Amino acid sequence: MKVTPTSIADILVIEPRVFGDDRGFFMETYNQRDLARETGLSPVFVQDNHSLSGRHVLRGLHYQLQQPQGKLVRVISGEIFDVAVDIRKSSVAFGQWAGVRLSAENKKQLWVPEGFAHGFLVLSETAEVIYKTTDYYNPQTEHCIAWNDPDLDIEWPLDGMNPDLSEKDQQGDAFKSASYFD
């Protein structure tokens, strides 16, 4: 496994070792012992999520204050631009974002710890995204920051297109008025 920090040190790109030949490939998508050895992290995952979305669907930027979720995100079909925004007031990276292209082809994963808002944009015709979480989903404690907030200035690779947003994501809060982690 290869682990590379992003522009925000707590957000990590994890590249598993892939063993392939003309028959296909094999890889371990998660190994707690190896992750702990390489990063010092030993998250306990309690839930796996799987989504299918079409081109230009943008999901996020979501987070839960009362039950914050660390997420290990990967793509099994297609490609996304995955984004995490630091919303920890005490962090030196508060208000900064990191974005990574994840795809079935590159097999990269993104570790997004608790304390971050998370979202992604589908770049391919469709994409299937799977992610493990460290706490359970609780819609009553979920918050959303506007994907296009000018204070965050996220460089979504939209190529002049408008994203396809859920009603909830259309109502995202401005970053300045959002709730944060202390």
Give the CATH number, domain containing residue 36: 2.60.120.10
Q: Give the pLDDT of residue 57.
A: 98
Q: Give the pLDDT of residue 71.
A: 98
Domain count, the chain: 1
The phi and psi torsions of 124 (rounded to 5 degrees) equal: -95, 180
Q: Give the pLDDT of residue 151.
A: 97
Catalytic residue status for 62: yes
Q: Give the pLDDT of residue 182.
A: 79
Q: Give the pLDDT of residue 181.
A: 85
Q: Give the pLDDT of residue 141.
A: 93
Which one is catalytic: 63, 118, 131, 180?
131
Tell me how far the alpha carbon of residue 77 is from its chain's centroid: 16
Q: Give the pLDDT of residue 48.
A: 98
Which one is catalytic: 56, 62, 136, 143?
62
Ranges of residues in the chain whose predicted pLDDT is under 50: none
| Residue 60, domain member (yes or no) | yes
| Residue 164, domain member (yes or no) | yes
Catalytic residue status for 137: no
Strand runs (DSSP E) across the chain, as ranges? 2-5, 12-15, 18-21, 24-27, 47-54, 58-64, 71-77, 79-86, 97-103, 109-112, 116-122, 126-133, 142-144
Tell me which residue range forms the domain holding 27. Answer: 2-177
| Residue 182, domain member (yes or no) | no
Q: Give pLDDT tens digits for 90-106.
A: 999 999 999 999 999 99
